[in-house]
Structures are given as structure tokens and as C-alpha cells.
């Protein structure tokens, strides 16, 4: 088996998830310079809601697996969007003119609240994904790719294209970019800045919902703590690519996934089994630090000062 190619495939799968989550961080940062640390928890809620619906449908209906997963995702999206909207409205909007530390602390608080509430609703035990998706494996030049991996990578590519189209081709997208560059002037032009900011949170949360379904399906479980590390890594991916930059979040996410997977694949061999693949999580942060030493604004980030 070709370990290298196999780890690239695994890395792109995980990287797809990181990229979709990183987009949520970067969009919110781009528009109000806030790091929404509760974003990872929105991913978790997406996975939990979807798993609940999927589990019930799988047990009680004869619907085809694809339809079940789609319905589960369709249930997760409005749930997450509502949370994203509520966070913006109740947690961040009142603090928009406060010093930057205040909303940051609020974000951390919100993430703790979301996690605890999720624990109360879904218990401490992980939810398992029902065995409904056929475990199909396709050979690719000495490595293999599963049906789920193909679905995850393709879904994330479609989402990235759709998001780019929204941001660069629609009126809302122009308003989002104008607001991120100069909110008061956007207001003068007739943009309801509050609506645009709320829409940004909601789009990010909808992406997070899908990411939750993807990562939950990939690993087969969903748990109330799953959002923390995933969120932190996706945040790293956003910073890696240049926070505030959409293409940067996509690139950063993919890159992080691949680096992590390669590290997991070769760590044991390279260190004579002193470090095993369980050290892969450390890699996200090592890559982040290494890149920021040389490019403090991230791979595609603009130099400070170019912001008008």
C-alpha cells in the first residue's frame, strides 16, 4: 500500500472539514474583527442534531441512506443558523463598541455554555452513527478512498464554490465585503450593517452544520466535546491561510489536514516509534507557529496597513 498517497487522501478529507469550519472563523473575523471561539461548538451542535435525526430515521423508516443523511443535514443547518444568529444578537452585538477583549471573553463563555447545554441534552455518551452507509472502498493507484471520503471532499468543494459565488457575485456578498472594509461608509450607502453581520454569522453557522455532519460521519461518532479541538484546529487553519481571507481559509484547512495526516503516517518511522501517530494533533500547532514566524499575516493574508 502506498502510505504517502493514502495519507494525502486522508489529509484532504480532514482538510476539507477544517477548511469549511475555518471559513466560518475567517468570515466573522473579516467583518467585525472578532474571533468567534464558539464556532467549534456550532459544528458540534450540527453533528449532534444531525445524528439524532439520522439515528431516528434509520431506526424507524425504510428511507434510503443518502436521503437520511440529507434530512439530518437539513435539520442541522437551521439549528446551527439559529445559534449563530442568537450568538451575534445577544452575545456580540451589545459589545460591538466595547474593547476587543470583552467579546473575546464572551465568545469563550458562549462556547462553554453551548458545550454544557449539549451535554445536558445529549448526555456525556457519544452518539454513534448508524451503519447505513455501505462501506464501499475504491482503489486509487495503490491507495484507497472510501465513499464517505469522496462525499466529504466533493461536498466541501461545492460549498467553497458556492460561498465564493455568494461573496463575489451577489449583492449580499458585495455588501459583506464593503462592510468588512468600512462599515460606517457601507451604512451610508444604505447597507443595513446589522443585517449583513447577522447574515455572515448565519452563513458561517450553516457551513459549520455541514462540517459537523461530515466529520461526525467520517469518524462514526458525535460527542459534546468534539467541537473544541476541531474548532481550535480550524482556527489555526484560518490564521495559517491569513485570517479574514476566504481563499486563505480554504488553503490553510487543506494544508493542515494533509500535514497532519502525513505526520500521523510517518511519525513512528521517523522517530523510531518514540512518537506515534497520536502526536498528530501537535502538528497543527507546530505548523501554525512555523508559518507565523515567517509570515505573521498568514500565507495569503495581506500586509497590515493595506486595510483601509
Partner 1 sequence: MLEVSGLCVSFGGINAVKGIDFAVRAGEMVALIGANGAGKTTTLKALIGLLRPTEGSIRYDGVDLITVPVHQRITLGIALVPEGRGIFSRLTVEENINMGAYRRPDSAAVRTDRDGVYALFPRLAERRRQTGGTLSGGEQQMLAIARAMMSKPRLLLLDEPSMGLAPLMVRKIFDTIRTIAADGVTILLVEQNAKLALEMCHRGYVMESGAIVTHDNSAALLADPAVRKAYLGDHA
Residues 244-303 that bind partner 1 (CB under 8 A): none
CA distance 232 to 254: 15
Q: How far is the CB of 298 from partner 1 (least distance, A)?
A: 16
Residue 187 Cβ vs partner 1, minimum distance, rounded to whole Å: 5
Bridge partners, 140 (sequence order): 143
Cα(20)–Cα(224) distance, integer angstroms: 19
Q: Where are the alpha helices (DSSP H) in 87-141?
A: 101-122
Are 145 and 138 a contacting pair, CB within 8 Å?
Answer: yes
Query: Please, which residue, 144 or 297, has the CB nearer to partner 1?
Result: 297
CA dist., res. 257 & res. 238, Å (int): 12
Q: Is 70 in contact with 112 (CB distance < 8 Å)?
A: no
Q: Would you give the binding string for partner 1 spanning residues 168-207, x where CB under 8 A is met?
A: ---x--xx-xx--xx-xxxxxxxxxx--------------
CA proximity to 251, closest of 304, 287, 208: 287
**Which of 99, 139 has the CB closer to partner 1?**
99
Among residues 177 and 295, whose Cβ is nearest to partner 1?
A: 177
Total binding residues toward partner 1, as defined by CB under 8 A: 19
Q: Please report how close the Cβ of residue 308 comes to partner 1 at its closest, in angstroms.
A: 4
Instruction: Provide, rounded to whole angstroms, the least separation between the CB of residue 178 and partner 1.
Output: 5
Q: Which is nearer to partner 1, 147 or 185 (CB)?
A: 185
| Dihedral sign, Cα of residue 85, residue 87, residue 90, residue 92 | negative
Concatenated DSSP letters of 248-301 = HHHHHHHHHHHHHHHHHHHHHHHTTTSS-GGGHHHHHHHHHHHHHHH-TT-SSP
Q: Based on CB atoms, which residue is closest to partner 1, 269 or 306?
A: 306
For the segment 134-173, give every residue that binds partner 1 (CB under 8 A): 171
Closer residue to partner 1 in complex, CB, 176/256: 176
Residue of 141, 274, 304, 308 interacting with partner 1 (CB under 8 A)? 308
Chain residues that interact with partner 1, rule: CB under 8 A: 171, 174-175, 177-178, 181-182, 184-193, 306, 308
Amino acid at each position: 500500500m502506498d502510505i504517502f498517497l493514502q495519507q494525502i487522501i486522508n489529509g484532504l478529507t480532514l482538510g476539507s472539514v477544517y477548511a469549511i469550519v475555518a471559513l466560518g472563523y475567517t468570515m466573522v473575523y473579516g467583518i467585525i474583527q472578532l474571533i468567534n471561539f464558539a464556532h467549534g461548538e456550532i459544528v458540534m451542535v450540527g453533528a449532534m442534531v444531525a445524528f439524532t435525526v439520522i439515528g431516528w430515521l434509520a431506526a424507524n423508516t425504510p428511507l434510503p441512506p443518502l436521503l437520511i443523511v440529507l434530512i439530518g443535514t437539513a435539520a442541522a443547518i437551521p439549528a446551527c443558523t439559529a445559534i449563530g444568529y442568537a450568538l451575534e444578537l445577544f452575545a456580540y452585538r451589545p459589545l460591538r463598541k466595547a474593547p476587543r477583549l470583552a467579546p473575546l471573553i464572551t465568545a469563550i463563555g458562549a462556547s462553554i455554555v453551548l458545550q454544557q447545554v449539549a451535554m445536558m441534552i445529549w448526555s456525556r455518551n457519544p452518539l454513534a452513527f448508524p451503519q447505513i452507509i455501505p462501506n464501499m472502498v475504491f482503489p486509487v493507484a495503490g491507495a484507497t478512498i472510501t465513499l464517505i471520503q469522496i462525499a466529504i471532499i466533493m461536498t466541501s468543494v461545492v460549498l467553497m464554490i458556492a460561498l465564493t459565488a455568494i461573496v463575489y457575485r451577489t449583492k449580499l456578498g458585495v455588501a459583506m465585503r464593503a462592510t468588512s472594509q468600512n462599515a460606517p461608509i457601507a451604512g451610508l450607502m444604505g447597507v443595513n450593517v446589522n443585517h449583513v453581520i447577522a447574515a455572515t454569522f448565519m452563513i458561517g453557522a450553516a457551513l459549520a452544520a455541514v462540517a459537523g455532519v461530515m466529520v461526525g460521519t467520517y469518524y462514526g461518532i458525535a460527542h459534546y466535546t468534539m467541537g473544541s479541538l476541531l474548532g481550535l484546529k480550524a482556527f489555526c487553519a484560518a490564521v495559517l491561510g491569513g485570517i479574514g481571507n476566504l481563499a486563505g481559509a480554504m488553503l490553510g484547512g487543506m494544508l493542515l489536514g494533509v500535514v497532519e495526516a502525513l505526520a500521523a503516517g510517518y511519525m513512528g518511522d521517523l522517530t523510531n516509534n518514540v512518537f506515534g501517530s497520536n502526536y498528530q494533533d501537535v502538528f497543527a500547532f507546530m505548523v501554525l507557529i512555523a508559518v507565523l514566524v515567517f509570515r505573521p499575516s498568514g500565507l495569503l493574508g495581506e500586509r497590515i496597513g493595506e486595510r483601509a
